[in-house]
Amino acid sequence: MGPVDVLCLGESMALFVPAEPGPPAEVRTWTRTVGGAESNVACHLAGLGRSSAWVSAVGDDAFGRAVVSFVAAHGVDVSGVLVDQDRPTGLYIKESDASGSPVRYYRRGSAASGMGPSLLATLPLGGVRLVHTSGITAALSDSCLALMRALLAAPRTHLLSFDVNWRPRLWADRDPAVLRELAALADIVLVGADEAEAMWGVGGPAAIRALLPEPATLVVKQAERGATLIERDPATGTDRAEVFQPALRVDVVEPVGAGDAFAAGYLAATLAAAPPVRRLRSGHLRAAAVLRTHDDVGPPLLPDIVSLLLDADESEWAAAHIS
């Protein structure tokens, strides 16, 4: 693996979505694609012109080969992906719906769940500017949690971003308080206001910041309302004023994957040293493209539209409608 801007670490799985309309119990034809928070981010970053790598483990099976091939086809370096001879590639089913898509996981004992802290020594971090991961990995197994603790606690010269990515079913037998522990060690934290309310009993940006003062940058995603950025001034060590940017109006097909797209847009703009509003808008624009499709990584908005909206004034941004 050569030097890349961003290294993303976490499980990806074979994903099945309905290929025909109707209640899931009556659907007979399903389309196989690929989904996984960190590989989604890596694919979006590559599409945004940032060199990216994805590191994980897959089984020595057809699903594993399909996952690796899919991610590689988006221009992501997959040379660090491990192939587990004993454990299978995980899979999940998405029952697509615009109001929220129920997801059913079949990932217990998967190849990625076998990852552990020994992986850290093999990560090609030379030249990497940012490592991105999420709370999903910490919930997969004891060894994955140990890996996450080691990754976040290790000395680093790169930025480390952590998307909380709360998945209640994965935490049924585990203490979700560990997510606050891990987030506190990151440089950039992305968390949904609804996630924070469910996990920690606080949902407003100021309250979340009070609970999580350690990261230099906190991005609170507020669903269709927008997103708030709270960032520490390195010169004074105190937080600057909150920056809120409303989300775009979008004709939503289904919402799964939009959070990963937002993260990628935000991180790409961060690496470009963009100002706060532009970083948040970059996230919203990438998320808007995914909201229009059933896929976790769909076709982006046209470059002319992205450029126009990035530079739009507040009234033009508020009036925009992505159909």
Active site positions, annotated: 260
Cα 8 from Cα 208, distance rounded (Å): 25
Largest Cα–Cα separation, the chain: 60
The secondary element (H helix, E strand) that includes residue 91 is strand 91-94
Under the phi-then-psi rule, with left for phi > 0, alpha for psi from -120 to 50, and beta for the rest, what region is 67?
A: alpha
CB 91 within 8 A of CB 106: yes
| Cα dist from 245 to 33, 58, 230, 279, 308, whole Å | 32, 38, 12, 10, 16
Helices (H), 106-160: 135-140, 142-153
Taking residue 303's Cβ as centre, other Cβ atoms within 10 Å add up to: 8
Cα 40 from Cα 44, distance rounded (Å): 6
Residue of 4, 216, 272 whose CA lies nearest to 131: 4
Cα 276 from Cα 231, distance rounded (Å): 9
Facing residues of 6 across strands? 52, 130
| 90 CA to centre of own chain | 18
Cα 183 from Cα 26, distance rounded (Å): 41
